[in-house]
Amino acid sequence: MHGRGRADGDGYEGQWSTDLEQHAFGEYSFAVIQANQAMEDFSQVEVGHNATFVGVYDGHGGREAAWFVREHLFNNLIRFAQEREGLISEQILRNAFTETEQGFIYFAREALKHIPNIYSIGSCCLVGIIWNRRLFVANLGDSRAVLGRANPRNLSKVIAQPLTNDHNASMMEVRRDLQLDHPEDPNIVVRDEHGVWRVKGIIQISRSIGDLYLKSSEFDIDDPNFPRFRLTEPINKPVLRSDPTVQSRDIETTDRFIVFASDGLWDNLSDQKAIDIVQKNPRSVSFHLISFRFPSIIRFLKFKSISVIRELRRD
């Protein structure tokens, strides 16, 4: 695969969107919307002759983790694939995530003297790959990929089908898993004063790249300038995980498009509403998605990225 489309936080302000561009299996577009002063999110599309790669990296606490993922995850994937004669598989995708997390750990150790809060910086990570007519999706955190599929009984009706599960403490199954993994810790998930479930009372997501202070006591934050991230007791085992949920499936004739987006979209649009907007606005897809939510929630959002892959068709 060779990169032909990339969007990130470098130099962009407010909101913007791209026209539809070609990829190996159809068309794609980008849109981004910025609400916070600091841009923390990155995204990319890499296009090859028989493959397309989409990444949405929703940073928090700083931009370094999302930037690091953008710079290294795709390259790690390519390296592992080349070692297997160009093969893409679920395991190779997992290996690329593991290598990226390990690389960020090394980077964070070296960067600590320049970025004192580096251990509290992390990123959600959503990846989609179309390779030889097969779709792979991997996810850490609460970004989401949703497929638009034609109803076999009514091909003009497109139905939303989630391709990922949110790793967010608001989900009952996520809280249950955390409690099962940490039976000795009554505060592994707590509700804050606003009624929001948070891991250790701090963060909503349960999986990420980075957030090292919640993965090993080596990365405890003692700096009084960052009291929010100081834990009352050292952790004995990782609180957050860095292994993605991965699934793959063949592309089917009823598949129409996929929306890849960070949580800023899904917090304000249902899966089906987003799919309906794409279906009704085929030539200005991403612009209409962000325009729909712009008036009411811009001030609550970070730099959010939306990628839309259209026309997943089989010859």
Q: Name the CATH superfamily housing domain 2-165+244-310.
A: PPM-type phosphatase domain (3.60.40.10)
- Residue 61 is classified by DSSP as S
Confidence of residue 225 (pLDDT cuts 50, 70, 90): confident
171: confidence class by pLDDT, cuts 50, 70, 90: very high
Look at residue 234 and tell me whether its pLDDT is greater than 50: yes
Residue-by-residue DSSP string for 204-260: SBSB-EE-GGGT-GGG----TT-GGG--SS--SS-SSB-PPEEEEEE--TTEEEEEE
Token duo for residue 202: 């701090």
What residues does each domain of the chain span?
Answer: 2-165+244-310
What is d(CA 163, CA 124) in angstroms, rounded to the nearest whole number? 16
In this prediction, residue 309 carries a pLDDT of 55
pLDDT tens, residue by residue, 112-154: 999 999 999 999 999 999 998 899 999 999 999 999 888 888 8
Q: Which two tokens stand for residue 311?
A: 């026309």
Q: What is the mean pLDDT of the chain?
A: 83
- Range from 37-41, 70-74, 220-224 that averages highest in pLDDT: 70-74
pLDDT in tens, 49-70: 888 899 999 999 999 999 999 9
Res. 1: pLDDT tops 60: no
- pLDDT tens for each residue of 265-283: 888 889 999 888 888 876 6
93 membership: H or E segment, kind and range:
helix 90-111
Residue 15's pLDDT is 61
Q: What is the DSSP letter of 120?
A: G
295 versus 149: which is more confidently predicted?
Answer: 149
Mean pLDDT within 215-227: 83
